[in-house]
Structure 1
Amino acid sequence: MNAIVIGTDGSPGAEAAIQKVLELVRGTGATVHLVCAYPGRSALERIGMTGKSDPVDLRGVAHDVVSRDEHRFDDAGLKVEKHVRAGDPAHTILDVADEQHADLIVVGAGGTPGHRRLMLGGVAGKLAHNAQTSLLIVHPS
Structure 2
Amino acid sequence: MADDTFRTIVVGSDGSAGAAKAVAWAATLGAQTGCTVVLVHAFEPLAELEHEPGVDFATIRDRRLDEMAEQWAAPLMDAGVAHRTVLIEDRPIEALVDTAREQHADLVVIGSHGRSGWRERVFGSVATGLPGRLDCAVAIVPTDPHA
TM-score range for the pair, normalised by the shorter chain length: 0.7 to 0.9
TM-score w.r.t. the length of structure 1 is 0.80
Distance 2:126 2:114 in 1: 11
TM-score w.r.t. the length of structure 2 is 0.77
| Structure 1 residue 131, shift from structure 2 partner | 1.6
Structure 1 unmatched ranges of 5 or more = none
Residue correspondence of structure 1 range 1-141 to structure 2 within 5 A: 1-40=6-45, 44=46, 49=50, 52-54=53-55, 57-67=59-69, 68-110=71-113, 120-141=123-144
Taking every aligned residue pair, what percent have the same amino acid on both sides? 31
User: Can you list the C-alpha shifts for 1:68-127, whole angstroms capped at 9, x where unaligned?
Assistant: 2233312211100111111111101111110110000000112689xx977531112221
Structure 2 unmatched ranges of 5 or more = 1-5
CA contact (8 A) 1:59 1:86 kept: no
Aligned length: 135
Task: Output the aligned Cα RMSD.
Answer: 3.0
Distance 2:15 2:41 in 1: 9
Moved over 6 A (4+): none
One-letter code of the match for 1:136? A
Secondary structure of 2:24's counterpart equals: helix
